[in-house]
Amino acid sequence: MHVLTGFVRFWYDFIIGDDWMIAAAVAITLVILALLAHAAPWFLLPVVVILALGFSLWRATR
Amino acid sequence: MSGAFLVLASFLASAVEGVEALTIVLAAGVTRGWRSTFVGLGAALVILAIITAILGPALTVIPIDALRLVVGGLLLVFGLQWLRKAILRASGYKATHDEAAIYQRELAAAQSSDRVTRAGLDWYAFTLSFKGVLLEGLEVIFIVVTFGATAHQVGLAALGAAIALVLVVAIGVAVHQPLTRVPENVLKFAVGLLLSSFGTFWAAEGAGVRWPGSDAAILGILAVLAVISFLYVAVLRRQYEARELQTAA
């Protein structure tokens, strides 16, 4: 069990790192885009990326 | 065009991780001997090569849209992690990576550790070198495999990584010290931008988005993200300096 949790924690730190909210924002946006498929607005993900990055930086520096 | 960026991203990421791995290998080799250190290095490289050989082809059999959605999303999150830390370092909120200090710390730890011999090897040197190269190498493999598989050019991504590693090793052998002059944060900033931009493009495309200008949209995403990132650095740096002045006063 200890090995399993260590393995999961390693990959969590490796990919997601310090701020899980960025990963959550990206995941939610991709789900929305996938549901909308070809009707999805192309600018949605870049806008979410910029806002999520800015919000994360603000949280890290306040 | 994406081929050139692919090689560049792999090269830069591998150079950064290679420098960090070199510091650990040098510390182990200088204090504990080179034989055990090189065996640990070689064992880690073999495992990394096996992982790449399995994952690379395995990812390419997945339908391209699903691959781009999931792997592109992972690449985007990973790239944003690098970019976020690079912005915090550039603005002063996070300490920059001090390779010289890390080398001294590893040297001290290696010198003070007990000598344990297993299978004819200095076990500390073997495990330090093995773990250091494996962990740094996993980041390289992640970028090479995800970036390369999504672009259907794993070989090209691996080429960029191989060139960087050969260069780092050659320079490391020549100077026989950690490479402290490498502008690590600049490289991490660039890699973060590239991975985030390509991750954004591919993940959205995998979800069904039609980008205006098709592949050329990558350049637009890269340009906008670069400008925004530099703005974030400028704003945060000004904020940091103002706080430092307030604290000093």
Residues in chain B closer than 8 A to A53 (CB atoms): 80, 83-84, 87, 228-229, 232
Say if CB B19 and CB B184 are below 8 A apart: yes
Mean pLDDT score across all residues of chain B = 85
Amino acid B204: pLDDT: 93
Q: How confident is the model at residue B180 (pLDDT cuts 50, 70, 90)?
A: low
The letter for the amino acid at B56 is: G
Paired tokens of A60? 């890290």
Give the confidence band of B224 by pLDDT, cuts at 50, 70, 90.
very high
pLDDT in tens, A9-48: 877 888 788 889 999 999 999 999 999 877 889 999 999 9
DSSP SS3 for B4:
helix
* Complex prediction ipTM: 0.91
Angle formed by the axes of helices B64-90 and B34-60, to 10°?
140
Q: Which of the four pLDDT bands, split at 50, 70 and 90, describes residue B177? A: low
Per CB-CB distance under 8 Å, the chain A contacts of B83 are 53
Q: Which of A24-28, B57-61, B147-151, B180-184 has the highest mean pLDDT?
A: A24-28
pLDDT digits (tens, 9 = 90+) for B59-97: 777 788 888 898 889 989 999 999 999 999 999 888 876
pLDDT at A59 over 90: yes
Smallest Cβ distance to A26: which of B77, B139, B142? B77
**Phi then psi dihedrals of residue B229, to 5 deg:** -65, -45
Q: CB–CB of B208/B180 below 8 Å?
A: no
For the ranges B9-13, B151-155, B168-172, B193-197, the maximum mean pLDDT occurs at: B193-197
Give A 19-48 residues with CB within 8 A of chain B. 19, 22-23, 26-27, 30, 33-34, 36-38, 40-42, 44-46
Q: pLDDT at position B176, please?
A: 67
Q: Please give the pLDDT value at position A9.
A: 82
> How far is B19 from B160, CA to CA, in rounded Å?
15
Does B1 have pLDDT greater than 60?
no
Interface test with B, best of A12, A26, A32, A62 (most B CBs within 10 A): A26
Mutate to test the interface with A, among B69, B70, B77 (most CBs of A within 10 A): B77
Instruction: Read off the pTM.
Output: 0.82
The tens digit of pLDDT for each residue in B14-52 reads: 888 888 888 888 888 888 888 888 899 899 989 988 888
Report yes or no: A50 at the B interface, CB cutoff 8 Å.
yes
B69 touches A at CB < 8 Å:
yes
- pLDDT: which is higher, B167 or B229: B229
